[in-house]
Amino acid sequence: MTRTRKVLSVLLIIVALVLVAGAVTLSHNSACGTAPALPSTAQTYKAIVYRCYGSSEVLKVEDIERVAPADNEVVVKVHAASVNPLDWHYMRGTPYIMRMDAGLGAPTSTRLGVDYSGTVEAVGKGVTEFKVGDEVFGGKKGAFGEYVNVPIDRVVIVPKPANVSFEQAASTPIAAITALQALRDKGKLQAGQKVLINGASGGVGTFAVQIAKSFGAEVTAVCSTRNVDMVRSIGADHVIDYTKEDFMKSGQRYDLILDNVGNRPLLDYRKVMNADSTFIIVGGPSEGNWLGAMTVPLKAWVMSPFVSQKYQFFLADLNKEDLNLIADLMQTGKVTPVIDRRYKLSQVPEAIAYLEEGHARGKVVIEME
CATH number of 155's domain: 3.90.180.10
Q: How many helices (H) and strands (E) does the chain have?
A: 10, 15
- Determine, yes or no, domain membership for 182: yes
Judge if 109 and 182 occupy the same domain. Answer: no
Tell me whether residue 232 is exposed, middle or buried, using C-beta atoms within 10 angstroms of its C-beta: 0 to 12, 13 to 18, 19 or more: middle
Judge if 156 and 187 occupy the same domain. Answer: no
- Determine, yes or no, domain membership for 12: no
Judge if 73 and 123 occupy the same domain. Answer: yes
Total residue length of the chain = 369
* DSSP string covering 107-137: -SS-B---EEEEEEEEE-TT--S--TT-EEE
Judge if 214 and 89 occupy the same domain. Answer: no
Q: What is the pTM of this model?
A: 0.90
Q: What is the pLDDT of residues 32-78, one digit of tens each?
A: 888 888 888 889 999 999 999 999 999 999 999 999 999 999 999 99
Domain of 109, in residue numbers = 44-171+337-367
Report the distance separating Cα 222 and Cα 243, nearest Å.
Answer: 10
Helix (H) or strand (E) holding 218: strand 218-223
- Determine, yes or no, domain membership for 351: yes
Report the distance separating Cα 26 and Cα 105, nearest Å.
Answer: 7
Confidence (pLDDT) at 41:
85
- Determine, yes or no, domain membership for 200: yes
Paired with 151 in beta bridges are: 73
- Determine, yes or no, domain membership for 288: yes
The pLDDT > 70 percentage for the chain reads: 89
- Mapped onto helix, strand or coil, the DSSP state of residue 88 is helix
Crossing angle of the two packed helices 320-331 and 203-214, in degrees rounded to 10: 70
Short-list 237, 264, 230, 235, CA closest to 252: 237
Report the distance separating Cα 236 and Cα 336, nearest Å.
Answer: 13
Confidence (pLDDT) at 317:
93
**Is the four-CA dihedral 331, 80, 319, 74 of positive or negative sign?**
positive
Confidence (pLDDT) at 287:
62
Tell me whether residue 304 is exposed, middle or buried, using C-beta atoms within 10 angstroms of its C-beta: 0 to 12, 13 to 18, 19 or more: middle
Judge if 306 and 186 occupy the same domain. Answer: yes
In which residue ranges of the chain is pLDDT below 70?
1, 3-28, 284-295, 297
Contact present, 92 and 55 (Cβ < 8 Å): yes
Judge if 185 and 119 occupy the same domain. Answer: no
DSSP for residue 272: G
Confidence (pLDDT) at 348:
97
Judge if 53 and 110 occupy the same domain. Answer: yes
- Determine, yes or no, domain membership for 3: no
Confidence (pLDDT) at 21:
52
Confidence (pLDDT) at 286:
60
* DSSP string covering 303-346: HGGGSSSEEEE------HHHHHHHHHHHHTTS----EEEEEEGG
Judge if 266 and 223 occupy the same domain. Answer: yes
Confidence (pLDDT) at 29:
78
Amino acid letter for position 320 = K
Confidence (pLDDT) at 260:
92
Confidence (pLDDT) at 26:
59
- Determine, yes or no, domain membership for 123: yes
- Determine, yes or no, domain membership for 156: yes
Report the distance separating Cα 135 and Cα 120, nearest Å.
Answer: 6
**Alpha-carbon 30 to chain mean position:** 26
Short-list 56, 98, 23, CA closest to 350: 56
User: At a CB cut-off of 8 Å and minimum separation 6, what does 258 contact?
Assistant: 179, 182, 183, 187, 195, 196, 197, 198, 205, 208, 280, 282
N-term to C-term CA, the chain: 72
Confidence (pLDDT) at 313:
84
Judge if 220 and 232 occupy the same domain. Answer: yes
Judge if 249 and 164 occupy the same domain. Answer: no
Judge if 96 and 189 occupy the same domain. Answer: no
The tally of domains found in the chain comes to: 2
CATH code of residue 307: 3.40.50.720
